[in-house]
Amino acid sequence: MAKKLITFGEVMMRLSPPGYEKFSQASSFELVYGGGEANVAISCAYLGMKASHVTRFPDHALGKAATQFLRKHWLSTEHVIYGDQMLGKYFLEKGAVHRPSEVIYEREGSSFSLIQPSMVNWEEVLKDADWFHWTGITPAISEGAYQCCLDAVKVANKMGITVSGDINSRNNMWKYGKTMQEVIPHLVQHCDVVITSSNGIKEMFNLGGPEEKFHDLAKILISQFSNIKKVVKKTRRPISASHNQIQGKMWNGTEYIKSDMLNITHIIDRVGTGDAFAAGLIYGLLHFNDQKALDFASAACALKHTVPGDVNLVSLENVLDLMEGDTSGSIKR
């Protein structure tokens, strides 16, 4: 039977100039929808899992269009909530070669930012789920989003559901009176798997010294939070905006594991690649051993760089082929 994933977070409208045009050149915008947690759910659905996303949309045509986007990509939307009038959005100018990408957000006062814990029955939502996933973006949006996420991880723990958090810091998002240092530890204590970085561990938990590497910091994090079983990192080495290298790393409590470095020479779209890594890790840990799960996550992440839009729409076969060394890109007939 297919494994079931539940994710929770905001879904935004993404507006980009065609191709690699700058904002100043654009006379039109290409429109897609995306959000970190929903990207993970959709990626897992394309890999063959059951997936459902919990979010809140405005109760008008744009909210319904965003819902249709989720349904189009195999997600259950039975737990989508509707209310208020604003859909969060962001504008993306895609970089190329030595010119970086630029992102401008418009999400303050969005329908999702006004969500309240009383709006979600997590016992019902998480029924029959195998995994719950959240990111550090969600509790940064508003007090209501944080409290809702905290309720979700507590209920998931009570129900014996595996919880993962992708918690890399977003300093500029915390505007409602709490800091990430106050909030994130309360959520992480309910996590089984944490995806983060060396800087994230230092900033969010005030752990480790300036010279300590990920391996040591991951050990310290697990020693501080007894529920955590695995700490995972995606390393990105940018050669240019169009050429990056990707590698996964994991401390699983007893062993430090790395994936092979994958060379991505012609990036089509970098947005959502961390979400593709998280999705690959979730799928991998549900189906493989730790080393194979990390290899799978890295391969899924690498493939997302070839897919326009926020979401990794590749198949299980695509990821397995790359993981096993097929980098040819040959036509599948």
Q: How far apart are CA 102 and CA 94, in angstroms?
A: 7
pLDDT above 90: residue 241: no
Q: What is the mean pLDDT of residues 131-145?
A: 97
Q: How far apart are CA 216 and CA 256, in angstroms?
A: 10
- Strands 243-251, 230-240: pairing is antiparallel
Paired with 30 in beta bridges are 16
Per the domain annotation, does 301 fall within a domain?
A: yes
Domain that holds residue 200: 4-323
| pLDDT, tens only, 299-310 | 999 999 999 988
Q: What is the mean pLDDT of residues 97-116?
A: 93
Q: What is the mean pLDDT of residues 284-312?
A: 96
User: Burial letters for 168-190: b for 16+ Cβ neighbours within 10 Å, e otherwise?
Assistant: bbeeebbeeeeebeebbeebbeb
* Domain CATH for 173: 3.40.1190.20
pLDDT above 70: residue 328: no
Q: Is 19 exposed, middle or buried (0-12, 13-18, 19+ CB in 10 A)?
A: exposed
Per the domain annotation, does 199 fall within a domain?
A: yes
Q: What pLDDT, on a 0 to 100 scale, did the predictor assign at position 329?
A: 63
Q: What pLDDT, on a 0 to 100 scale, did the predictor assign at position 332?
A: 58
Q: Name the average pLDDT for the chain.
A: 94
DSSP reduced 3-state for 189: coil
pLDDT above 60: residue 231: yes
Per the domain annotation, does 208 fall within a domain?
A: yes
Q: Which residue spans within 97-192 are E strands per DSSP?
A: 102-106, 131-135, 162-166
Domains held by the chain: number: 1
Per the domain annotation, does 197 fall within a domain?
A: yes
CA angle 25–29–33, rounded 5-degree value: 145
Per the domain annotation, does 65 fall within a domain?
A: yes
| pLDDT, tens only, 1-28 | 899 999 999 999 999 999 999 999 999 9
Per the domain annotation, does 331 fall within a domain?
A: no
Per the domain annotation, does 165 fall within a domain?
A: yes
Per the domain annotation, does 329 fall within a domain?
A: no
Give yes or no for a contact between 271 and 310, defined as CB atoms under 8 angstroms apart.
Answer: yes
Residue count (the chain): 333
- As a whole-number percent, the residues of the chain with pLDDT over 90 amount to 88
Q: What pLDDT, on a 0 to 100 scale, did the predictor assign at position 314?
A: 96
Q: What pLDDT, on a 0 to 100 scale, did the predictor assign at position 333?
A: 44
pLDDT above 50: residue 282: yes
pLDDT above 50: residue 200: yes
pLDDT above 50: residue 141: yes
Q: What pLDDT, on a 0 to 100 scale, did the predictor assign at position 309?
A: 86
